[in-house]
Structure 1
């Protein structure tokens, strides 16, 4: 039988107003009722599955405000069926809020190489904070996204203490980081033997800093590039990166000359107030380019004086990666 919804009620709520909780119940907001068309003044059709989903949303709302021990007790009461009328039900929530729980401790275990502060920078829950399920999930995802630990990570341990507050423990398992990359090619198109050798380490010395080295070699190129990134310069909230490069190449179409370019660029990122995942970046770069004539007399391109380039940049980046493989 199809039941119509006759009445909805809420009792026991004080943290959230009845009107606020009703917003999770209204058809136009939550899709609680089925999408079947209603004729005239007919009562809406009751959808039990959506009612359960709305109940879970209310429970989550309380969990995120520290009511770890709250209980949302849904009820469905069938009304007597009147002749010529469809069967109806009265539904609602009896809420037992309990008291708010606070975070007493936040512990980290298993980090044998990575410094603890690197992990804590990715945790959005501090001792003394009101318990929040959403922030614990975000912290778990943020630590996983570092890429320094085996995934899937163990779910954080949540242990109540005698005062009714909770102790949180994040457990990680270190995995090898860093990679050596190399490749070679032989052929007339590259002028004989050419290739590259590189090393990348995203967790230098266990401090969450990243560094890389790369050398490209061959008849027509000889490049050295070194980069370094620090997510917290001198332990601050300011991130920084630096690149040094020295490149030399010969143009296949202009074999009478060679180009050499050397320089650096630096970049600093500042957290946007009130936006945890957004940074404003400012950078500066300086490089010098030399075009040397090796043979012939055409100096229209090669043999000209060295040129210096100075650049400044400003940008904004929002990063919400929550998984090292599927961000």
Structure 2
């Protein structure tokens, strides 16, 4: 043990990378040890509400995603029952997606008046100067009135062109049209995220309790309807059908056609993978999906994770 601690080094191996090498200094009977540390600052993350998390989907990321899928080992997806196969496939597919499309923190851009061009800004400054000059010179009032009328017409035309351009560039024309309408009539999205419902005569405010109430309602609605119908006195004669339904094995081309019929939207299910990305990677997953679908037909088992859905109650009108 040294009398000093100058040659005692303690590091946290979990939080830094290091490399050691024994060297001969040439001027001592003791050899030296060279220690290289790659230190990264680890600080507690500071929550900043000015940023939000999002993924960026572009052609480069899609190419990377398809490359990862092509080189992925899909061996474990071919063993087990339908649920095991599909769960393994979804886990691998989601992992490849997370690698190709990492979540990034971005700062939202402040919305500006896109129609307010540099020329309109200059005209606004000119009109302000003319108004100031007209207070001293009465002869300029007629000119200012004419200039103001022309300025308003230019603004109306600029807004119209901006709205037309916004709708034309939008992927969903109907959605873009309603966004323009709501913006012009001053109807904005509600910022109040509080949601209250009445269940069994009591008011429920907790989001988790509300979600459980909706879950129980939608999962038991079929059973409740059957009980209501069975207790009624009215008897409905249901015609018998001797025809039997057969499910034939699907082919890979049929699965590809079904995937290609999806819309190029960013909507996604519980897995968080948009339809647009699934379409772009269809050729790398069609064979696996074909195998899982045919196994489902053969055994009569439907993958349990495909039954899951996200329910979002949307407030329309009336008492909230």
TM-score by length of 1: 0.19
Q: Which has the higher strand share?
A: 1
Higher relative contact order (CA 8 A, sep 6+): 2
TM-score by length of 2: 0.19
